[in-house]
């Protein structure tokens, strides 16, 4: 397990911290204005998906291992809807903001 404070990429670290503390403002601050995302290869509405999968269901990311200089990781993700599952996450970071992230079952 990788402690959140030890994640390599500071922007990705801020993303994980915002998710784990359920801080919508910090989450929005780390995203680029027109950020996009996909879940299991399907494009999703970012605001609707994060509300449903993270904020109203107490989502939490425990990073197991990171790669790609900290812009990708495998994690145990849990929320009140789905319980716990192994997931993969990949981030595109531009100008200290996340412009895209992709997640799915690992």
Q: Which residues constitute the domain of residue 17? A: 4-105
Specify the CATH number for the domain of residue 17. Answer: 3.10.450.50
* Tally of domains in the chain: 1
Tens place of pLDDT for every residue, the chain, 106 residues? 999 999 999 999 999 999 999 999 999 999 999 999 999 999 999 999 999 999 999 999 999 999 999 999 999 999 999 999 999 999 999 999 999 999 999 9
Q: How far apart are alpha carbons 99 and 64 in whole angstroms?
A: 23
**pTM score of the predicted model:** 0.96
Structure tokens at 45: 């509405």
Residues 6 or more apart from 77 whose CB is under 8 A from it?
59, 60, 61, 62, 84, 85, 86, 87, 103
């Amino acid at each position: 397990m990788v402690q959140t404070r030890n994640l390599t990429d500071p922007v990705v670290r801020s993303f994980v911290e915002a998710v784990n503390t359920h801080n919508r403002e910090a989450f929005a601050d780390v995203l680029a204005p027109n950020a996009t995302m996909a879940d299991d290869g399907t494009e999703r509405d970012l605001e609707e998906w994060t509300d449903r999968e993270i904020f109203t269901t107490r989502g939490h990311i425990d990073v197991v291992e990171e790669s790609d200089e900290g812009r990708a990781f495998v994690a145990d993700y849990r929320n009140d809807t789905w319980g716990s599952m192994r997931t993969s996450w990949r981030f595109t970071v531009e100008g200290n903001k996340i412009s895209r992230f992709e997640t799915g079952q690992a």
